[in-house]
């Protein structure tokens, strides 16, 4: 600093505003749960009351968009997860027992019942859920939803209900794609461990059951419903401009993940209690 230059004194920084208290957070959570329940009731009413099939074109368009966005990430994620944590580790266990051909039973039970639906739900929540929240949130901050209400257009029937139905249909379809790539990962691991196709597919078929597949489809449809309803609620209640939309997207993804985890745990507990024979490898 030169001798003739006066020092610059910056004004003191204002203290950061205090965050919400624990009571405010609790009330916010209760309000969010109530809002999700009300949105669920309104959406189901729109799907089950006339005018019939008014939501069908939008649902088809949304389903096709979601399939294009989510198919490749789902296939890659399921293949990598099935090859590494499941295939390599499980293959080492069966190889140590001298039963490499039994690897197929691990995939038929683990893939169908647990990790393929879970990975698919995570991918859809991260890819499709963020897109739904951002779309509805942008419409909210641009006051498009208010304009629709002024024109007498029900935003729940035209925007929310089709997205819920689309995700409930798309997620089971993507889950089937994930099962195919999980099986391919098992084939790769089987060849690496010097096994044979006949033993792998024989053990895969012995561990597979119709009840497991029905539960798999039902679980993934539940995942799709939860992701859609949570993301639609957060998008419809976004505020604060583009920054608020970004916050809504972050919150929607976190809450969607939590909803999928809780539903997965509850569904598996009820399913295994109702069908205890599924607990054993066949």
Find the mean pLDDT for residues 100-124. Answer: 85
What was the pLDDT predicted at 17?
A: 63
What was the pLDDT predicted at 6?
A: 60
User: Residue 198: how many CA atoms within 13 Å on its side-chain side?
Assistant: 0
Of the candidates 162, 209, 187, 204, the one whose C-alpha atom is nearest the C-alpha of residue 65 is: 162
What was the pLDDT predicted at 207?
A: 72
Whether 165 shows a pLDDT value over 80: the answer reads yes
The total of other beta-carbon atoms located within 10 Å of residue 22's CB is 7
For 156, residues 6+ apart whose C-beta sits below 8 A from its C-beta are 39, 42, 43, 46
Whether 258 shows a pLDDT value over 80: the answer reads yes
What was the pLDDT predicted at 18?
A: 66
The total of other beta-carbon atoms located within 10 Å of residue 32's CB is 16
User: How far is 184 from 191, CA to CA, in rounded Å?
Assistant: 11
Reduce the DSSP state of residue 193 to 3 states and report it.
coil
Q: Quick one: what percent of the chain has pLDDT higher than 90?
A: 43
User: How far is 221 from 10, CA to CA, in rounded Å?
Assistant: 58
Confidence band for 49, pLDDT divided at 50, 70 and 90: confident
What was the pLDDT predicted at 48?
A: 87
What was the pLDDT predicted at 89?
A: 77
SS (H, E, C) 205-273: HHHCCHHHHHHHHHHHHHHHHHHHHHHHHHHHCCCCHHHHHHHHHHHHHHHHHHHHHHHHHHHHHHHHH
pLDDT averaged over every residue in the chain: 85
As given in the structure block, the two tokens for residue 134 are 């951002």
217/10: higher pLDDT: 217
Calculate ∠ Cα 250-69-243, nearest 5°.
Answer: 25
User: How far is 55 from 213, CA to CA, in rounded Å?
Assistant: 29
Confidence band for 266, pLDDT divided at 50, 70 and 90: very high
Tens-place pLDDT, residues 6-32: 666 656 666 656 666 777 777 877 888
Instruction: Please spell the DSSP secondary structure of 84-136, one letter per residue.
Output: IIIIIHHHHHHHHTT-GGGHHHHHHHHIIIIIHHHHHHHHHIIIIIHHHHHHH
Tens-place pLDDT, residues 179-216: 999 889 888 888 887 777 777 777 777 777 788 889 99
As given in the structure block, the two tokens for residue 123 are 């991918």
Tell me the pTM: 0.86
Of the candidates 218, 269, 105, 209, the one whose C-alpha atom is nearest the C-alpha of residue 226 is: 218
Long-range Cβ contact pairs of 141-147 (< 8 A, separation 24 or more): 141/238, 141/239, 141/240, 141/241, 141/242, 141/244, 141/245, 145/236
What was the pLDDT predicted at 75?
A: 93
Question: CA-based Rg of the chain, rounded to a whole angstrom?
Answer: 24
Find the mean pLDDT for residues 56-73. Answer: 91
């Amino acid at each position: 600093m030169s001798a003739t230059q006066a020092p610059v004194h910056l004004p003191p920084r204002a203290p950061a505003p205090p965050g919400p208290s624990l009571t405010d957070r609790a009330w916010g959570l209760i309000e969010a749960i109530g809002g999700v329940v009300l949105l669920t009731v309104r959406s189901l009413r729109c799907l089950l009351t006339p005018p019939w099939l008014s939501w069908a074109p939008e649902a088809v368009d949304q389903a096709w968009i979601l399939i294009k966005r989510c198919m490749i990430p789902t296939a890659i994620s399921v293949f990598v997860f099935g090859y590494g944590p499941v295939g390599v580790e499980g293959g080492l266990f069966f190889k140590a027992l001298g039963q490499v051909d039994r690897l197929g039973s691990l995939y038929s039970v683990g893939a169908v019942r647990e990790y393929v639906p879970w990975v698919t739900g995570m991918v859809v929540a991260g890819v499709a859920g963020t897109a739904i929240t951002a779309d509805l949130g942008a419409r909210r901050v641009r006051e498009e939803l208010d304009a629709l209400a002024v024109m007498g257009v029900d935003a729940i029937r035209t925007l929310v209900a089709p997205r819920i139905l689309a995700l409930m249909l798309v997620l089971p379809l993507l889950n089937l794609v994930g099962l195919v790539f999980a099986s391919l990962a098992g084939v790769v691991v089987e060849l690496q461990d010097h096994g044979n196709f006949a033993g792998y597919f024989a053990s895969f078929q012995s561990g597979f059951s119709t009840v497991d597949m029905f539960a798999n489809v039902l679980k993934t449809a539940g995942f799709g419903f939860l992701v859609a309803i949570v993301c639609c609620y957060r998008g419809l209640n976004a505020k604060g401009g583009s920054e608020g939309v970004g916050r809504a997207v972050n919150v929607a993804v976190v809450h969607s993940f939590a909803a999928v985890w809780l539903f997965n745990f509850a569904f598996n507990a009820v399913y295994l209690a109702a069908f205890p024979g599924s607990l054993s490898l066949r």
